[in-house]
Structure 1
Amino acid sequence: MPAPEFADRSAPTLPLWLCRQADEGPELPAGIDGAAAGWARAQGFAGKAGQLCLLPDAKGDLAGALYGTGPRSDRPTRERYCLARAAETLPAGNWRLANLPDGFDAEIAVLGWLLAQYRFARYKKAEAPQARLLCPETLDENRLLAMAEGEFLARDLINTPASDMGPGELEQAAGHLAAQHGAEFAVTTGEALIARNFPMIHAVGRAAAQPPRLLDLRFPGQGPRVTLVGKGVCFDSGGLDIKPAASMALMKKDMGGAANVLGLAQMLARLGMTRDIRLRVLIPAVENAISANAFRPGDILTSRKGLTVEVNNTDAEGRLVLADALALADEEAPDLLISVATLTGAARVALGPDLPPFFCDDDHVAGALQRAGLRHADPVWRMPFWEPYETMIEPAIADLDNAPGGGFAGAITAALFLRRFTTRARHYAHFDIYGWQPTAAPGRPKGGAGQAMRAILHALPEILT
């Protein structure tokens, strides 16, 4: 995994001046001399968002740069990380922020610079930007690096194809994280899932070349119980209800929930926050494949909780493996139980790839999550556990239906299905993420994406107070 990094404090740096756009021209900082201001005007520098103007000294050498942050506005900007483009376009070297305009969110901007350093280079050489920023002394350098490292981990896991990121490799990644932070790590694999009462995880994953497994990490700490459950479907063919080729193309990312909870756990552990909570991470790791022993449409599965489930579509497998893992988590009655999954296309139809919905019954918890997401450039949007739709997940011959017909409210009915397995947890929230950046943007290259991690990270203190 590439490591995000700041400029060395002992190294010489060049100044980067941030300039807002105004009707009468760029708001040049007071530290800019007349020659630099004249040069900027001659270059047509206006302070538009992402606009760069390199400044020469009297000898023609590089003396610094002006960077536009766009007009003053209280509304969210189109670019999530305003300094990410600077990191990608500035010449190699060490830079420092020479000024901070009023109202400028330095933490998000600097985090964007770090995230712009990411490149997935496992299979093909990819040059990362070589401009490094000196972390402003007003910011927590360790916190910023921890958030970037967690994001890099999630991106790497999602970007790796199933040929190198099957259930076994996902187990290795989780085991490495556990060893790195002194967490207990237990794995239940193959037929042992039946013996230990995880029948739906076994049913979904038994047809694959690699056996299904449940990964269980417990981090050392005291305090409220916080359990994260991430969907780890390392590849989803759709099973016997096989997907068409176009729908299968991105299914290496169907373990995006697992990648994101591991990235979040990395953040929490790196920041020492796991000392004050009892953090547990559960990941059902499977591949939904086709073989003679694949589970079938029409099968009735009995879950760990004892609820029976009619399989009306084998391509709605994520909620099945999550249900057994949630039932296990719920047995400890955690103070906060969170599931993260690339679960439904309906969520993307409703809110698009960039804004994942979440479901939560508690207004305090939901408010904390949504505020933290907006404040820390990791937006999430609350959707309802709509009680009248409960009948849609209740078939005639079993307790639950994994894929109700009709095509309506698919994200809500999936969330309602999962909630049936969380009757003891004090608070439950479910995130239906996309886990993928479909088009490149500053700080967010096309490929695997972290979603909801920083929203949860920053909301936790308020939720658990």
Structure 2
Amino acid sequence: MPSVFETAPAASSIPILFATKATWVEICAGLPLEARQFALDNGFAAKPGACLTLPSAGGKIAQVLFGLEDATAKSRDLFRPGSLPGLLPPGIYRFANAPHDTRLAALAFALGAYRFGRYRKTEAPEVRLVPPDGIDATDITRMADAACLARDLINTPSNDMGPEELAQAAEQLAKRFGANFNCIVGDELIRQNFPLIHAVGMASSRAPRLIDFSWGDPAHPKVTLVGKGVCFDTGGLDLKPSSGMLIMKKDMGGAANVLALAQMVMDANLKVRLRVLIPAVENAVAGNAFRPLDIFPSRKGLTVEIGNTDAEGRLILADALALADEEKPDLLVDMGTLTGAARVALGPDLPPFYTDDETMAADLAACAKQENDPLWRMPLWPAYDTWLDSKVANLNNAPSGTFAGSITCALFLQRFVEDAKSWLHLDIYGWTPSAKPARPEGGECQAARALYKLLSKRYG
């Protein structure tokens, strides 16, 4: 997506005047008489999200009024200005006064210009924004571009975004930044000791694979990103109902967001040795599909009993995490659309994260708040670890019962990480169920901006 930022002089742009109910009386009094009367006659009262274009004497747009929540409101949507690209007539605009957070408002403006137009013609908003003074427009554009990548990948339906197509997208990104790319496909996964990835993907006519690329100076700290790439999830033989299968094209959202994060890291040229691992599969139903109570070895050597074939994401991540852990990275991060339990606990907008690194937990929480990319820490509760026990294998991928599903998934993955200096697990949703300012309905970039800011502060 082209940058929404304009380099033209601010004097040639249309001012956007932000108002709240508390400030509206003062702002209204400062308007020219004709503009004030026009606003009052149109009933503008600075309701959050309200937008009104004020005409000049010659009939052109003189300025724009836009409503925000009061500064003292219990809940403020700092991305509220992200509605503007869909509301404004074509033109070049600038902020005439400061919204609640100018940098986030500019980012929201950029994110709100996104449109998914692969399958039907969509009109991109013909609006540009003069960057407010003091913000890094390059960095905001970097984050917006990465969000567009994640959204495009997730929004693309599975018939056009299978394991091979996901690998092609990753390879294209790797080549753009000169990264070394490799991909292990099909039965070669067995020969190279990735039995769980192969088991989950073997029933599909589209071969499973492990996507792997590396970038950066080997002397720099090692940061490894692992993303769940289930390009469609039927649930396997533990078949999902149709309602549960409806948006399973998004089940590669972890991979999409890992690629978005990798793009930001490489574009910013952070001082890291980056490795990206994406196990890419389709969890299909066929005569050779893996079954409940089957037992498979893993790359780490632990045997895994299949308690439920619909808990497939943790299986493919386990082999990828085991590979990543062998390098003893300074930081190992995995992201996946893993459990409905996380959504029950925290809803679609607030992904949980898990780590035993107290410093990183605090730093990530601060970055999430700073970037309006919400995250919430959940515990790796040791008492629940025994729930993963199997009577016939080293562990079970899906304990019976309905409690603490997101926690037990995290504990399962923790079994495959021993040597990384720090490990972080994120159970994201990767989807916006209903449109919000700057967040259209559909695939979403979640956690990647917060993680990028964390990495920038550590390795910038």
The alignment's TM-score, normalised by the length of structure 2, stands at: 0.96
> Percent identity of the aligned residues?
52
* Structure 1 residues 306-365: Cα deviation after superposition (integer angstroms, max 9, x where no partner): 001001111111000000000000001111111000000000000000100011111111
**2:61 equivalent to 1:57:** no
Residue of structure 2 equivalent to 1:191: 187
Measure how far apart 1:29 and its partner are.
8.1
Q: Is the 8 A contact 1:378 1:451 kept in 2?
A: yes
Residue of structure 1 equivalent to 2:204: 208
SS in 1 for 2:21: strand
Inter-partner Cα distance in structure 2 for 1:304 and 1:186: 18
SS in 1 for 2:69: strand
Measure how far apart 1:384 and its partner are.
0.3
**2:267 equivalent to 1:270:** yes
**2:16 equivalent to 1:16:** yes
The correspondence of residues 308-323 of structure 1 with structure 2, limited to 5 A, is 308-323=303-318
* Structure 1 residues 128-177: Cα deviation after superposition (integer angstroms, max 9, x where no partner): 32222111231111101100000000000000111000000000000000
Q: Is the 8 A contact 1:39 1:55 kept in 2?
A: yes
Inter-partner Cα distance in structure 2 for 1:412 and 1:316: 13
Q: Is the 8 A contact 1:20 1:27 kept in 2?
A: no
Among 144, 149, 162, the alignment partner of 1:166 is 162
The CA RMSD measured in Å over matched residues stands at 1.7
Residue of structure 2 equivalent to 1:255: 252
* Structure 1 residues 282-320: Cα deviation after superposition (integer angstroms, max 9, x where no partner): 000000112222111111111000001001111111000
Which letter maps to 1:346? A
CA gap of 1:386–1:169, structure 2 versus 1, over 3 A, is same
Inter-partner Cα distance in structure 1 for 2:392 and 2:148: 45
Inter-partner Cα distance in structure 1 for 2:236 and 2:447: 28
Measure how far apart 1:385 and its partner are.
0.2
The correspondence of residues 275-424 of structure 1 with structure 2, limited to 5 A, is 276-424=271-419
Which letter maps to 2:89? P
Measure how far apart 1:75 and its partner are.
4.5
Residue of structure 1 equivalent to 2:128: 132
Which letter maps to 2:305? E
Q: Which moved further from structure 2: 29-38 or 191-200?
A: 29-38
Which letter maps to 1:247? G
Residue of structure 2 equivalent to 1:33: 32
Inter-partner Cα distance in structure 2 for 1:371 and 1:74: 21
SS in 2 for 1:241: coil
**2:97 equivalent to 1:99:** yes
Residue of structure 1 equivalent to 2:84: 86
Inter-partner Cα distance in structure 2 for 1:271 and 1:74: 35
Q: Is the 8 A contact 2:84 2:112 kept in 1?
A: no
Inter-partner Cα distance in structure 1 for 2:254 and 2:205: 22
SS in 2 for 1:132: strand
SS in 1 for 2:80: coil
Count the aligned residue pairs: 458
Q: Is the 8 A contact 1:298 1:311 kept in 2?
A: yes
Inter-partner Cα distance in structure 2 for 1:379 and 1:429: 16
* Structure 1 residues 439-464: Cα deviation after superposition (integer angstroms, max 9, x where no partner): 11121111000110111111224556
CA gap of 1:438–1:449, structure 2 versus 1, over 3 A, is same
Which letter maps to 1:225? K
Q: Which moved further from structure 2: 279-288 or 135-144?
A: 135-144
Inter-partner Cα distance in structure 2 for 1:333 and 1:450: 28
Measure how far apart 1:272 and its partner are.
1.9
Which letter maps to 2:90? A
Q: Is the 8 A contact 1:224 1:278 kept in 2?
A: yes
CA gap of 1:463–1:357, structure 2 versus 1, over 3 A, is farther
Q: Is the 8 A contact 1:365 1:463 kept in 2?
A: no
Measure how far apart 1:70 and its partner are.
2.5
Measure how far apart 1:32 and its partner are.
3.8
Q: Is the 8 A contact 2:51 2:66 kept in 1?
A: yes
Q: Is the 8 A contact 1:48 1:71 kept in 2?
A: no
Which letter maps to 1:20? T
CA gap of 1:309–1:318, structure 2 versus 1, over 3 A, is same
Residue of structure 1 equivalent to 2:178: 182
Which letter maps to 1:96? R
Q: Which moved further from structure 2: 454-463 or 186-195?
A: 454-463
Q: Which moved further from structure 2: 294-303 or 340-349?
A: 294-303
Which letter maps to 2:154? I
Structure 1, unpaired ranges of 5+? none
Inter-partner Cα distance in structure 2 for 1:73 and 1:209: 56
Residue of structure 2 equivalent to 1:243: 240
Inter-partner Cα distance in structure 2 for 1:168 and 1:298: 29
* Structure 1 residues 222-268: Cα deviation after superposition (integer angstroms, max 9, x where no partner): 42111110000001111111111111111111000000000111111
